[in-house]
């Protein structure tokens, strides 16, 4: 099954906004937007072709036999939506069989937009590719680099893989620690998914900590912990946020208040920051 939604077509940012519906719950709708090229003659064609290559590579990777077959995502067309909308409107006429014509109101709005630009000069191609949370939203992932002009098209599979890794990572490797408010704690571990409970381990001089996370959603939740060492034990609670970064990592920031068991005036409020780095498939 190739997950390219024929009905999920959209338009360029400057085009009139047409009626859209969100993607099915739990599914990410990916759109390949504008890719431009500047520089030597023919650069505009080469720049545009990189976007088409990414579209094909993403569809193949999301196919049932692809590396991301388990990723809940579909690729939706962005550039030719008006043409498809015109066809849908045409099919509502009396000349078309109501039993087989396309039902209006099924155009899926993209939840992720990928755009890019290339600049070619003297046989070298510089490029930038950005993935945003929606057409005008926050940059989730960006790539920049320089390669030989003849090799620019070969970058498609690797860029597509990294983009999909950001949306549907195999998991994350966690590393971070205390940035303020108390003694330093080094935090490490792995996270399989941000929408289900997970645990991370911490160490400090003479002791250990176990952090337990209860997500409200993929971007926030509650955290509790227990610690022991140097003959004492204690507990703490707080909240956390998980924010995607332009380099594809996730910044997990938590603020907690904890106390040593049986010791008065021992409570401290601490802020920790942990970087979650996606694991490649």
- Each residue of 12-34: pLDDT tens digit? 333 334 567 888 888 899 999 99
Q: What is the mean pLDDT of residues 32-56?
A: 88
Over range 122-138, report the average pLDDT. 86
- CA separation, residue 189 to residues 31, 63, 104, 139, 276 (Å): 33, 31, 48, 26, 9
Look at residue 183 and tell me whether its pLDDT is greater than 80.
no
Tokens of 181: 């408010």
Q: Which CATH code is given to the segment(s) 4-167? A: 3.40.50
* pLDDT for residue 212: 98
Q: How many CA atoms lie within 13 A of 116 on its CB side?
A: 34
Provide the pLDDT confidence category of residue 10 given band limits of 50, 70 and 90: very low
Nearest Cα residue to 234 out of 272, 200, 263: 263
Residues 6+ apart with CB under 8 A from 156: 50, 53, 54, 56, 57
Residue 278 has pLDDT above 80, yes or no: yes
Q: Which CATH architecture has domain 172-278?
A: Beta Barrel (2.40)
103: Cβ–Cβ under 8 A, 6 or more apart, which residues? Answer: none
The domain ranges of the chain are 4-167, 172-278
pLDDT band at 198 (very low <50, low <70, confident <90, very high): very high
pLDDT band at 279 (very low <50, low <70, confident <90, very high): confident
% of the chain with per-residue pLDDT over 70: 93
Q: What percent of the chain has pLDDT over 90?
A: 44
Q: What number is the average pLDDT over the span 23-49?
A: 88
| Res. 237: pLDDT tops 90 | yes
**pLDDT tier for residue 242 given thresholds of 50, 70 and 90:** very high
Residue 2 has pLDDT above 60, yes or no: no
pLDDT, averaged across the chain: 86
Quick: pLDDT tens for 57-86: 999 999 877 888 888 899 988 888 788 888
pLDDT of residue 19: 64
> Residue 6 above 60 pLDDT?
no
If you average pLDDT over residues 168-181, what whole number do you get? 89
β-pair partners for 260: 234
Name the least confident of 77-91, 231-245, 260-274. Answer: 77-91
User: What pLDDT is stored for residue 9 in this prediction?
Assistant: 32
């Amino acid at each position: 099954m190739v997950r390219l939604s024929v009905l999920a077509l959209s338009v360029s940012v400057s085009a009139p906004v047409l009626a859209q519906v969100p993607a099915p719950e739990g599914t990410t709708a990916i759109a390949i937007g504008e890719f431009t090229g500047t520089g030597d003659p023919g650069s505009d064609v080469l720049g545009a072709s990189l976007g088409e290559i990414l579209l094909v590579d993403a569809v193949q990777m999301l196919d049932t036999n692809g590396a991301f077959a388990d990723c809940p995502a579909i690729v939706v067309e962005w550039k030719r939506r008006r043409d498809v909308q015109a066809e849908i409107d045409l099919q509502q006429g009396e000349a078309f069989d109501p039993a087989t014509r396309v039902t209006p109101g099924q155009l899926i709005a993209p939840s992720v937009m990928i755009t890019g630009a290339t600049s070619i000069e003297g046989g070298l191609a510089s490029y930038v590719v950005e993935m945003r949370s929606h057409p005008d939203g926050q940059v989730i992932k960006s790539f920049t680099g320089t390669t030989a002009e003849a090799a620019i098209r070969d970058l498609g599979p690797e860029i597509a893989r990294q983009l999909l890794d950001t949306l549907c990572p195999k998991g994350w490797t966690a590393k971070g620690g205390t940035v303020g408010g108390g003694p330093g704690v080094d935090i490490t571990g792995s996270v399989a998914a941000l929408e289900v409970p997970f645990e991370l381990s911490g160490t400090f001089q003479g002791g250990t900590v176990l952090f337990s996370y209860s997500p409200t959603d993929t971007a926030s939740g509650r955290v509790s912990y227990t610690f022991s060492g140097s003959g004492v034990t204690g507990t703490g609670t707080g909240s956390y946020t998980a924010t995607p970064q332009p380099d594809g990592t996730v910044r997990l920031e938590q603020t907690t208040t904890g106390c040593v068991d049986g010791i008065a005036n021992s409570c401290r409020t601490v802020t920790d920051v942990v970087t979650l780095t996606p694991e490649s498939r």
